[in-house]
Structure 1
């Protein structure tokens, strides 16, 4: 229970967008939780963004619409915003502030935690290891997600990134260990929010999912709070509850735009493309909350999804995200136009920690070799396709024609998957082998001879 100060301030000098500027305050600090009482008796809540001498700038979660500065009373809690944490979140559907949308009671627990979390000493971090299998074959085989990793999905408008995010949230698992998913949707349309809720209903009903849905018409401040709330819930489930937790956050571009809007309301000097200069450190404060910690059970794995405006990978949000995270999964308009789902561009995608979580004793002994060979073959196939556009197929060698055949089979047999299909790793690996065996043995130099013999690789079909 939050203990509010008995002192109430009525000197609200200004309402500016989602911000309220309170004058004449004393002993108020940055990030402090605030309560605003309107003349009608309605209560709203916020956080102190800035405290300078006798001024406090408060960001109001519910927005300032309908508020009259003359009738406002503001009190401060003396502590940062805290939320209840525990297993009570599992199976719940809430808005971006943690208020129930499922008709149930508010989430209550004997333990609470600050939504901004606490920094982890790097010395206490354990290196990521062991896979999180998503049930999406092209990701599990070629860009394996590892427990404790932060691996973003780069997409663009019109691509099925929300569908992919919900599919991963519905299917992901860790072999034989307690596993949960926290799904945080930001800036969603009501149709998208309903889609995510319906797609994830079975997992929520099983008590394995926490669903936080922030819609585009909600106050902008809620969008900034949503990922912090999701990560706070996940940290307790992991490091106290001993679960392996996957946090799916979509769309981080909507989050960054909310941050930009609040920065503009505060009158801050803008940086690149009008985003605040602290965008990098703000994103890092979210992404770096994943990982594994020595002496504590469980792990937090983060899969942020973001849209690149105009498909521009140099845009500040994907650019800075790429510096902080450990790889990326890039969705391709070309693959989408060819009817491939999920439309992953495997040559632009990578998981830098894949070798920590794949291979003998973790997935399959042939996993890493097959993945490396398949990516190399696809790179060669792309070169051959570009050459064929210049000189025509008639001028290509038999090996080149096999690479074009491999590319077609890759999209149709291996990469393409049903939108509700859970594909096991063994099934995906078998499909990868079938694609690779399109090529003659001489073109499979990255695979050991014993593996080629076991799978009947030869020079002729």
Structure 2
């Protein structure tokens, strides 16, 4: 295993008092000098070695989680040795373009990833006063993200999804298309609990970015040891921190699926016999997730930035489930995928009224994206909220009772879904095109309804409503689909 065998030597003292094998855990007796988070090496009777990390030390007992699992191990003839230091991995530009499993073992046919410097997998504490506020956008080429929930360098912005929705496709599309203008940019993609088909899809879809040496790929599949799933995001963030703060790159870390990660954490906690908390997750789930999400940001005096996009599935679509609930407390907004939009054939099915980016104003607007970006977004959201109310009203009183303005709002919502939100999974849409599409949608509404736009922009609306050649492509009121069609 690259990150252990190249950085640690086999210690002199081996302990063969194996008291218990419990799931992925080994309880060793008679231990001295071992500490929490120390690297351990387990030697089986046939001479093969496995690797682990110390989870707990109580007097002369040590609990070790074995990364490869304890299947096939025997208490007799096995031994454990401790390195006396936390786990470290080689870091540097040599990771770029590589594909590895969740433990850092190459799966691309290349040699083990080595380097002349190393970093602790657990990361290093950061003085909060050294943090710089997130600023400048990360453009993804996805209209629903760039326009409505702009991702900002140094931000942590999760994607909330449900089973059956295309969250993996969206994560891969963002990883493949994202950029920050002309600055050096890299993507670290950490997949956890993926099927082999999904892992192959990720590798194929991101092949171009990997060939350009802009991608680090860490893939943990569903049949890999559960402990590996806990290690995968930590390896990804350690590599990303070095690429950012030593290599001067802006790095986007995409982690999917964090629910699989939390379930692995729950399984290990159960094996350790820890008291369960809400829905049997360990009581320290919040702290553990924060130890990952808070490793993003910008550091004063250092180049580069780390931006985190965690993707998680909500069991039964329940946003109050512990994983999305705690993630929402830690992160700075959310991108919520809608089953209703997905059923209507919209990709990506991002629900604009449930999604937000709390740092959007730090990364959008004059000098960053476009001067009209923030007012256009505010007006779009306000109009979509009115359209949703109108749709609910039509369900109550009937479509025939709606007035002309209400019908225009329903037509506006249809244009937004069809012309703005919906795009191909391989389409990288420029931001100017995205904002122009918002203008086209707003032109279907009367000017008096555009109360969120400053007067200067309303004047632009008046001038371009009939002069812009693209405006002719937007359905006029008479051409908007019938209300019954929109509602269905």
TM category, shorter: over 0.9
The range that moved more, 392-401 or 322-331, is: 392-401
> Cα deviations across residues 20-46 of structure 1 (Å, max 9, x unaligned)?
000000010000000001111111000
Within 5 Å, which residues of 2 pair with 1:19-34?
A: 19-34=25-40
1:440, 1:42 → 2: CA distance? 74
1:271 aligned partner: 277
> Cα deviations across residues 244-303 of structure 1 (Å, max 9, x unaligned)?
000000000000000000000000000000000000000000000000000100000000
Structure 1 unaligned segments of length 5 or more: list them: none
1:423 aligned partner: 429
Within 5 Å, which residues of 2 pair with 1:90-129?
A: 90-129=96-135
The one of 52, 55, 67 equivalent to 2:73 is 67
The one of 35, 40, 44 equivalent to 1:38 is 44
2:346, 2:354 → 1: CA distance? 16
2:460, 2:350 → 1: CA distance? 29
2:460, 2:278 → 1: CA distance? 54
2:372, 2:10 → 1: CA distance? 60
1:196, 1:28 → 2: CA distance? 39
Give the CA deviation at 1:458: 6.3
The answer as to whether partners of 1:4 and 1:78 remain within 8 angstroms in 2 is no
- SS of structure 1 residue aligned to 2:206: helix
1:360 aligned partner: 366
1:432 aligned partner: 438
2:291, 2:25 → 1: CA distance? 22
1:138 aligned partner: 144
Asked if residue 403 in structure 1 is aligned to residue 406 in structure 2, the reply is no
The answer as to whether partners of 1:35 and 1:44 remain within 8 angstroms in 2 is yes
The answer as to whether partners of 1:440 and 1:458 remain within 8 angstroms in 2 is no
Give the CA deviation at 1:215: 0.2
Give the CA deviation at 1:451: 1.6
Give the CA deviation at 1:394: 1.3
2:411, 2:327 → 1: CA distance? 35
Asked if residue 258 in structure 1 is aligned to residue 228 in structure 2, the reply is no
2:154 aligned partner: 148
**Matched positions, count:** 461
2:481 aligned partner: none
1:190, 1:32 → 2: CA distance? 32
- SS of structure 2 residue aligned to 1:2: coil
2:442, 2:83 → 1: CA distance? 62
Asked if residue 248 in structure 1 is aligned to residue 258 in structure 2, the reply is no
Asked if residue 445 in structure 1 is aligned to residue 448 in structure 2, the reply is no
Asked if residue 196 in structure 1 is aligned to residue 241 in structure 2, the reply is no
2:106, 2:442 → 1: CA distance? 49
1:296 aligned partner: 302
2:186, 2:390 → 1: CA distance? 44
